Each structure stands twice: as C-alpha cells, then as structure tokens.
C-alpha cells in the first residue's frame, strides 16, 4: 500500500480529478475571460481581437466604472467604520444582557435569514415617497421637510442603497463578533479587571486586541462582499437613476448581458477581480501585525 | 417439474409484458418534438392562453408532434436565445425582436431561415409590418402585433373630477392640477426601466417636428440630437415631470407597480403601449375600472407643428424559424397555423392589436374601439428610437432618459449627451 502511495503515477492519478476540476472550473475561465476581454465580441457572431482597447477605455474614459468603484468604496467604508463597530457594540450589550441574550441574538440575526429579494423589496416599500413608512414617520414627527424620494433623489439614492445593504449584513456581523466575544477565555477578562482595567479600557486594551483574528476575517469578508455587491442594487434601483447607484458587479452584468458588449464586460470583470484581490491583499498585510493570539 | 412450469409461465408473462412496451417504443421513436421559445412565461395570461390554444390545435392536427416551449421574461429570454445561437441549439420556432441590433446578427450569421413572402400574401398583414423583418429583400420573421404609444385614462375619474379628455399639453397640465388637488396621481408609468421614458420623449419630439424622420436622421448622423425639436421635447418632458404629472416614485416603479396604480384607480391615466388592451378584461382589477378604462392620443403642443395623430408605433412579437431546424416543414406549418388563428383569437380575448387585419365587432368594448380609432387615424408613425441603435446605445439612452427625469442632467445636457452617445455607437 505504502509503495503504491509512493508511486508518482498513483499520486498523479489520485490528484488528477481535483486538478482537472480546478483547471476547468477556475483557471481556464479566468484565462478565457482575459482573452474575451481583449475582443469586441457581442456574444454571438465573429469576434475581433482589439488588444487592450477595452481596458484602456474603462480606465481612461468610462465614468460609470469610476462611479461604480466609488460606490463600492463608499459601501466598504460604511461597512468597516459604521456597521462593524456598531455590531461590536451591540454584541457587547447583548452579552451584558445575560438573561435575554438569546432573544436579542435572534432578533438581530433575523435580517440575515430573510431572502435578499424580500428585504430589498421591503426597504423599497419603506423608501416609497408616497406610501413609504419613512416619509410618513418624518411627517408624524414634524420633519416633513426631510421627506424625499429616497431611491430616486441623486443626493440620497446611493446612501439609501447602502443603508439597505448594511441592514441586510448586520446579522452576519453580529454572528461573527458575538462568536468572537464569547470565545475569549474569561481568565483574560478577570486578570484585566484585577489589574484595574474596567469599562472601556477592558474592551479597547484587552478584548478587541484579542478579537483581531475575528475582526480581520470579518473585514476581509466585508470587503469582498461590498465589492461584489449586486443583488440589492439590481433589485432596488437597477443602478439608477442613470448610473448613480451603479456598483461594479451590476455594471459588468449590464455591459455583458444587457448591452451585449461581452468583450467589454469581461474586461470589466478582470479589473473587478484584480481590484478585489488587491484590496484583500492590502487588508491582510495591514491587519497581520495587529492580530492578537491566545 | 413444478419449477420448470413456473419458469415457463414467468417467461411467457415477461414476453407478454414486453410486447406493448415494444409498441410504445416504436410510437416514441416516431414522436417529433418541436421546440419553441417565447417571452410569455405566464401561460395563464390572455396571450399565454392563446398560444397554448394554438399549440393544442397544432398537436391535434399532427398527433405525432409534441410541442415543448421554453418561456422566459424578455431579458433572460434574449440571453438564452443568444447562448443557443452560439451553440447551435436554437429552438425550431421562436419569438424574437425585429429590431436590427437584435435580429440583424441572427440573419448575418445564418441562424434563422428566410421565409417565402408569397406564403403570407393572403394573411392580411398590415402594410409595412413585414418590411421590418426584411434583410436584403428576404423575409425572416412574421410580426404578431401592432404596438403604439397611448395614454389610457379612467373615464369615471375624469367625469367625477369634471375633467375633459386633454387634446393639448396645456390641457393635460390643467387636468393634472385638478387630479393632484383631489389626491389622485395624474399619470402612472414605468421609469425603473428607461424605455417608456424614451418612447414618451420620442412622442414629444414628434409633437414638435410633425414627423419622426428627424429621429432617424439624427441616428444616421444626418441631423444632430441637439437640434431644436429634441431640446424642446426634453424641456417639455421636464415641465411635465416638475408639474408632478407622474407618480412620485416614477424612477423606481416597475411595470407591475405602475400598472397597478392605474388599475386600482389611484392614478387617473397610464402611459403605455397598445398591448395593454387587456386592461379592460383583466379580472385582477375591479369591474368599475374595467368598464371605465379608455385610451386617448398623446396630446399635441399648442402652436407647434406636430399633429396629434402622429403615433410612436411599431410591429412586435416576431416569430422566426431556426435555420438548423430538422423539422422545417412542421415549423413552417406551425407558422401557417399560428398566423391563421392568432389575429381572431388575440382580438377576441383582447390580447393586443394584431399586426394582421381584424374585423371590429359590436362586441368590442370601448377601449378596443378607442385603440382601433387611434390606429386608424394615424398620420405619421415612427418606431422607438432606442431600438434602432445597438443594444449598448439603447442601454445608454435609457439610462440617460432616467438622468433627465431625475434632474441629474438638464435638458441641454441631455441632448448633448444623447448626441455624443449616438455618435459613439454610430461608429
């Protein structure tokens, strides 16, 4: 048996199915996508090789690409600096609740288990300028002047979409951070308390540094999720009005499958993957040194 | 001995059981599957029911034929057809749009078959309806319906609010004011997708220029989108939007939401194509609504050249035959039956206005009569401008129209940007 495992042909035969799957399902499509990105193929009929023209056009003259990227960055920043800290605070409060922790955990996790189609349509209803809950609420509390057409107003549309996405992802953030918090051994907390680190200091100096591996994982997942955001955008505004709420994934879908600029759409997808990889790499490098261990 | 008898008995039974199965196999071998494709996934809708009725009739005439239909909404349907075309798996007979950017590549790459126009001479196709499917003098598709842009209105709401049917834009604005004052949305339409906005804009251009030729000239780059009628139309469009003529959530309203506002009598008017003839028979809405729904022409602009009888009109719902079909005769036979039966069935069930001549009857409701009258009095017609360019131009144009309505672009910026994208995609 051991002899068989040492035989190179046996090893090759055993890993071949996995390698073949990796090649045909991952590597080959990426190279095909790069190739299609260098053509003007409309999806059917002949394709012409145009070199780097698509990439040049995207970077130098496609304002929608930059709007989409800008919106993805906005969403990422709001997720990292608003949703995540808020989720951590809520988790700490839930833990402090002890008796009712399970109830609050369930309540906060509910948005994560409802299908995105449902939550998006629900929020579109909330934002409806005529019948929506938000404008009605503003009217009741005497803030009528703030009422607007949330998803069509160029000043509020993208932030309204971001709010929906943040709300949808809040349950996941709670799940990760809550797991991180409860997994920290009590000894650390007790030792810190004995040393006089109470209240805010306990969390900023002890708990959060110990949670860095969790924070790092959540931040990377958040970055990837924000950059590939599509469902909520597609279902709420479709990227409109115009392209004001456009996001990268939705934009490349439109280019490839609505405008039938398949080559251009592939070039967009290559840039999209490259940007996501670069962002992930930078985040990993930035957070590596700060990761706590216990 | 006993065991031997049992074996013989079982063998005999096995043979007996196999015989009908073998017969079945022969029958199955003779069975022909005719693959169809269309964009009517709701087979219980009036249109879906008409198609199913024709299919059933066809299968009764050809008992050895089984019709298998793939039906999806417009966008995924278009994508699927393109994938099928690229992989030589097109359905035998399928619906496909006649717009040059969509049908053109199908013809150029020999994916669909040329038809013999003489075969359809006596089918009463409306003048001009077959021409949209002609490439190099050959006919490639048959249209099912004649579509045109109208305003549906609720006669009861008009009467109760003492509003006359408007013939000019000023009258339309005055009517809107009355409806708004009484808590009624003047007009509903869809804005989440930009095509209704573009067709409305086209119609407005026609109200200033008196014909639709200027649009084609601008697309062919013989004229500019920055010329006066386009700018006037963009300004008028914004005047209507700013006057609150449309529902507040116009740009996020999808097709169904906009239609429901009108059907539930929350909106007094509804801007849409003539295919909404079925509003008068749609049991999802109240009887009161169905009895009061009417159609009117898009109002003219007082003092401008455009005639109120100029129509944004086109022919749609084309059927084509795959060039690779193994059942050419059956496919052509199907087309023959479809276009023999469709006009009467579609008119009887008020599916839409067929592209073939139909006989109006006394039983036709007032909405059907209104639409026939509008079509009958049309002086100049033009098909939607966004469908005359490439799909990329269409997409860019529709989003630009949304930007105009959202106030992201001024009318001046809108026409300049429209001219820029027309130039870009004309290349």
With respect to residue B9, please indicate whether it lies within any of the assigned structural domains.
no
Q: Is the pLDDT of residue A291 over 60?
A: no
In this complex, is the C-beta atom of A128 within 8 Å of any C-beta atom belonging to chain B? yes
Mean pLDDT of A107-120: 92
- Residues of A within 8 A of B405 (CB-CB) are 241
Interface A:B, Cβ pairs < 8 A: 89
User: B70 and B51 in one domain?
Assistant: yes
pLDDT (mean) for A59-86: 95
Set of chain A residues whose Cβ sits within 8 Å of the Cβ of B191? 241
Domain housing B198:
148-313+372-426
Residues 6+ apart with CB under 8 A from A57: A264
Q: Which of B185, B194, B392 sits opposite A259 (nearest CB)?
A: B392
The CA distance from B33 to B65, in Å, is 6
CA distance A74 to chain B (A): 20
**Residues A263/A40, Cβ–Cβ less than 8 Å:** yes
Does residue B234 sit within a domain? yes
Task: Determine the pLDDT at residue B384.
Answer: 80
Residue B43: how many CB atoms within 10 A of its CB?
14
CA gap B346, B357 in Å, rounded:
12
Selection from B274, B268, B269 nearest residue B376 by Cα: B274
Q: In terms of domains, do B112 and B234 share one? A: no
Dist. CA B206–CA B213, nearest whole Å: 9
Instruction: For chain B, say whether A125 makes contact (Cβ under 8 Å).
Output: no
Q: How confident is the model at residue B110 (pLDDT cuts 50, 70, 90)?
A: very high
Please tell me which of the candidates B111, B191, B391 has its beta carbon nearest to residue A259. B391
The Cα angle at residue A286 between residues A283 and A287, in degrees rounded to 5: 85
- Across the interface, which of A42, A151, A240 has its CB nearest the CB of B105? A42
Q: What is the pTM of this model?
A: 0.85
pLDDT tens-place string over residues A184-200: 888 888 888 888 777 77
B251 contacts in A (CB within 8 Å)? 149, 151-152, 240-241
Among the partner-chain residues B75, B85, B403, the one whose CB lies closest to the CB of A44 is B85
DSSP percent split of chain A into helix, strand, coil, nearest 5: 75, 0, 25
Q: What does the pLDDT average to over B332-341?
A: 95
Taking CA atoms, what residue in A is nearest to B408? A154
Confirm whether B156 is domain-assigned. Answer: yes
Contacts with B106 from chain A: Cβ below 8 Å: 44
Q: Per the CB < 8 Å rule, is A240 touching B399?
A: yes
**Rounded mean pLDDT of B29-39?**
88
pLDDT digits (tens, 9 = 90+) for B180-189: 999 999 999 9
Average pLDDT rounded to a whole number, residues B196-225:
91
In this structure, the answer to whether residues B254 and B386 fall within a common structural domain is yes
Separation of alpha carbons A249 and A228, rounded Å: 5
pLDDT digits (tens, 9 = 90+) for B362-388: 788 899 999 988 988 887 777 788 778
Q: Give the mean pLDDT of B286-310.
A: 92
pLDDT score for B22: 47
Tell if the CB–CB gap between A260 and B392 is shorter than 8 Å. yes
Task: Locate the chain A residue with the closest alpha carbon to B109.
Answer: A45
Interface subset of B 367-396, CB within 8 angstroms of A: 390-392, 394-396
A254 pLDDT higher than 80: yes
What local confidence, expressed as pLDDT, does residue A81 receive?
A: 94
Q: In Å, how far is B40's CA from the nearest CA of chain A? A: 19
Residue A245 confidence (pLDDT) above 90: yes
Contacts with B394 from chain A: Cβ below 8 Å:
259
Contact A240 B109 (CB under 8 A): no
ipTM above 0.90, yes or no: no
Burial class (CB in 10 A: 0-12, 13-18, 19+), A21: exposed
Instruction: Look at residue B319 and tell me whether its pLDDT is greater than 90.
Output: yes
Residue written as tokens 């005439």? B61
pLDDT at B25 over 50: no
Q: What's the pLDDT score for residue B12?
A: 58
Handedness of CA A171, A177, A180, A186 (dihedral sign): negative
Mean pLDDT for A92-113 is 87
Q: End-to-end alpha-carbon separation of chain B, Å?
A: 90
pLDDT at position A294: 57
* DSSP element (H, E) containing B187: strand B185-188
**Residue B250 at interface with chain A, using a CB cutoff of 8 Å:** yes
What CATH number did the domain enclosing B166 receive?
Answer: 3.40.190.10
Q: 25-44 in A: which are within 8 Å (CB) of B?
A: 42-44
Name which of A129, A239, A258 is nearest B391 (Cβ-Cβ).
Answer: A258
Q: Which residue of B has its CA nearest to A132?
A: B249
B275 and B228 fall within a common domain: yes
* Interval A31-60 mean pLDDT: 93
Q: Where are the alpha helices (DSSP H) in A98-151?
A: 101-113, 116-127, 133-140
- Cα B276 from Cα B270, distance rounded (Å): 10
Give B-chain residues touching A245 at CB under 8 angstroms: none
Query: Can you tell me the distance from the alpha carbon of B37 to that of B49, in angstroms, rounded to the nearest whole number?
Result: 15
Q: Which of B290-294, B374-378, B402-406 has the lowest mean pLDDT?
A: B374-378
Average pLDDT, chain B: 89
- Domains in chain B, number: 2
| Stretch B241-260: mean pLDDT | 94
Site of tokens 């910026």: B413
- Nearest to B256, CA basis, from A207, A7, A124, A86: A124
Confidence band of B312 (pLDDT split at 50, 70, 90): confident
> Which among A128, A239, A260 has the least Cβ separation from residue B249?
A128
Beta carbons of A242 and B400 less than 8 Å apart: yes
Q: Tell me if chain A has a CB within 8 Å of the CB of B427.
A: no
Residues 78-117 of A with CB under 8 A from B: none
Per-residue model confidence (pLDDT) at position B23: 46
**Residue B13 pLDDT level (bands cut at 50, 70, 90):** low
Q: What is the mean pLDDT of residues B231-247?
A: 96
Please indicate, yes or no, whether residues B170 and B125 belong to a single structural domain of this protein: no
What are the CA-CA distances from residue B365 to residues B47, B260, B287, B361, B376 (Å)? 18, 21, 13, 9, 16
Whole-Å CA distances, A79 to A188, A218, A221, A224, B239: 29, 10, 11, 11, 40
- Contact check, Cβ <8 Å, B406/A43: no
Residue A33 has pLDDT above 90, yes or no: yes
Same-domain status, B296 and B181: yes
Q: Are residues B292 and B378 in the same domain?
A: yes
With contacts defined as CB-CB under 8 Å, which chain B residues touch A239? Answer: 399
Segment A120-138 mean pLDDT: 94
CB-CB under 8 Å, B392 with A129:
no
- What average pLDDT does range B287-307 have in this prediction? 93
Confidence category of residue A52, pLDDT binned at 50, 70, 90: very high
If asked whether residues B122 and B35 sit together in one domain, one would say yes
Does residue B15 have a pLDDT over 60?
no
Q: What percent of chain B has pLDDT over 70?
A: 93
Q: B80 in contact with A at a CB cutoff of 8 Å?
A: no
Q: Does B361 score more than 70 pLDDT?
A: yes
The predicted-structure confidence for B254-273, as pLDDT tens digits, reads as follows 999 999 999 999 999 999 99
Q: What is the pLDDT of residue A293?
A: 57
Token pair for A185: 């051994």
B273 phi, psi to nearest 5 deg:
-80, 170
Chain B touched by A45 (CB under 8 Å): yes
Q: What's the gap in Å between the CA of B156 and the closest CA on chain A?
A: 23
Q: A254 — contact with chain B (CB < 8 Å)?
A: yes
Quickly state the pLDDT bin for B38 (edges 50, 70, 90). Answer: very high
Instruction: Please indicate, yes or no, whether residues B188 and B321 belong to a single structural domain of this protein.
Output: no
The dihedral region occupied by A51, where left means phi > 0, alpha psi between -120 and 50, and beta the remainder, is left
**DSSP reduced 3-state for A159:** helix
Which residues of chain B have a CB within 8 Å of the CB of A263?
Answer: none
Q: In the structure encoding, which two tokens stand for residue A109, read together?
A: 């996790």
| Residues of chain A neighbouring B390 (CB-CB closer than 8 A) | 259-260
Tokens matching residue B260? 């429901």
Residue B168 DSSP label: B
Q: Please give the structure tokens belonging to residue B208.
A: 């200033």
Best B194, B248, B395 member to test A by mutation, with max A CBs in 10 Å, is B248
- Nearest CB among A149, A236, A254 relative to B395 is that of A254
Residue B325 sits in the same domain as residue B408: no
Fold of domain A37-288: MetI-like fold (1.10.3720)
Q: Kindly indicate the confidence band of residue B5, based on its pLDDT and cuts at 50, 70 and 90.
A: low
B376 and B397, same domain (yes or no): yes
Residues B50 and B153 in one domain: no
In chain B, residues with a C-beta closer than 8 Å to the C-beta of A236 are 252
Average pLDDT over every residue of A161-176: 94
- Looking at residue A255, its pLDDT comes to 94
In a domain, B3, yes or no: no
């Amino acid at each position: 048996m051991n002899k068989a495992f040492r035989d190179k042909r046996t090893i090759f035969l055993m890993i071949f199915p996995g390698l073949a799957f990796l090649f045909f399902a991952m590597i080959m499509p990426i190279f095909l996508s790069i190739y299609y990105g260098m053509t003007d193929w409309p999806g059917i009929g002949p394709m012409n090789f145009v070199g780097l023209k698509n990439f040049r056009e995207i970077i130098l003259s496609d304002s929608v690409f930059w709007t989409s990227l800008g919106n993805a960055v906005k969403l990422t920043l709001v997720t990292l600096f608003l949703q995540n800290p808020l989720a951590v605070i809520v988790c700490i409060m839930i833990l402090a609740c002890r008796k009712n922790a399970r109830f609050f955990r369930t309540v906060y996790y509910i948005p994560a288990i409802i299908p995105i189609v449902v939550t998006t349509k629900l929020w579109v209803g909330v934002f409806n300028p005529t019948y929506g809950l938000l404008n009605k609420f503003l009217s009741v509390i005497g803030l009528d002047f703030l009422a607007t057409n949330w998803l069509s107003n160029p000043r509020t549309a993208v932030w309204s979409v971001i709010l929906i996405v943040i709300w949808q992802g809040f349950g996941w953030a709670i799940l990760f951070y809550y797991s991180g918090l409860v997994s920290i051994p009590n000894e650390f907390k007790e030792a810190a308390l004995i040393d006089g680190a109470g209240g805010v200091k306990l969390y900023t100096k002890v708990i959060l540094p110990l949670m860095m591996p969790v924070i790092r994982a959540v931040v990377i997942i958040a970055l990837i999720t924000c950059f590939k955001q599509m469902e909520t955008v597609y279902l709420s505004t479709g990227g409109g009005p115009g392209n004001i709420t456009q996001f990268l994934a939705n934009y490349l879908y439109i280019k490839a499958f609505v405008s039938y600029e398949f080559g251009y759409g592939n070039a967009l997808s290559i840039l999209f993957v490259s940007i996501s990889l670069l962002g992930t790499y930078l985040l990993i490098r930035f957070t590596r040194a700060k990761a706590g261990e216990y | 001995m006993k065991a031997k008898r049992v074996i013989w008995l079982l063998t005999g039974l096995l043979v007996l059981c196999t015989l009908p199965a073998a017969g079945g196999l022969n029958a199955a071998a003779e069975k022909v599957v005719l693959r169809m494709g269309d964009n009517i996934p709701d087979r219980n809708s009036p249109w879906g029911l008409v198609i199913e009725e024709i299919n059933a009739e066809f299968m009764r005439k050809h008992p050895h034929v089984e019709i298998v239909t793939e039906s999806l909404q417009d966008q995924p349907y278009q994508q699927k057809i393109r994938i099928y075309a690229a992989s030589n798996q097109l359905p035998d007979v399928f619906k496909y749009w006649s717009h040059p950017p969509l049908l053109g590549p199908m013809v150029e790459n020999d994916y669909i078959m040329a038809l013999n126009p003489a075969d359809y001479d006596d089918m009463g196709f409306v003048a001009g309806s077959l021409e949209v499917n002609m490439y190099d003098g050959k006919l490639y598709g048959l249209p099912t319906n004649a579509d045109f842009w109208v305003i549906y209105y609720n006669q009861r709401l008009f009467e109760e609010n003492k509003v006359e049917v408007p013939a000019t834009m000023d009258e339309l604005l005055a009517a809107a004011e009355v409806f708004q004052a009484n808590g009624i949305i003047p007009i509903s339409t869809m804005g989440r997708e930009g095509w209704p906005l573009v067709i409305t804009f086209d119609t407005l251009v026609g109200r200033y220029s008196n014909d639709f030729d200027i649009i084609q000239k601008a697309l062919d780059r013989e004229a500019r989108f920055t010329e006066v009628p386009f700018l006037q139309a963009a300004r008028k469009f914004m005047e209507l939007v700013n006057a609150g003529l449309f529902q507040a959530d116009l740009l996020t309203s999808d097709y169904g939401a906009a239609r429901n506002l009108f059907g539930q009598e929350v909106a007094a008017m509804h801007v849409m194509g003539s295919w909404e003839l079925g509003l008068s028979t749609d049991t999802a809405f109240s009887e009161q609504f169905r009895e009061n729904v009417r159609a009117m022409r898009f109002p003219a602009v007082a003092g401008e050249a455009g005639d109120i009888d100029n129509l944004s009109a086109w022919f749609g719902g084309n059927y084509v035959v795959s060039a690779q079909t193994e059942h050419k005769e059956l496919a052509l036979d199907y087309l023959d039956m479809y276009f023999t039966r469709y006009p009467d069935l579609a008119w009887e069930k008020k599916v839409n206005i067929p592209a073939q001549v139909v006989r109006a009857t006394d039983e036709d409701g007032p909405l059907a009569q209104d639409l026939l009258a509008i079509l009958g009095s049309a002086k100049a017609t033009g098909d939607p401008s966004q469908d005359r360019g490439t799909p990329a131009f269409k997409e860019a144009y529709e989003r630009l129209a949304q930007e105009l309505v959202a106030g992201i672009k001024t009318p001046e910026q809108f026409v300049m940007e429209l001219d820029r994208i027309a130039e870009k995609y004309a290349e």
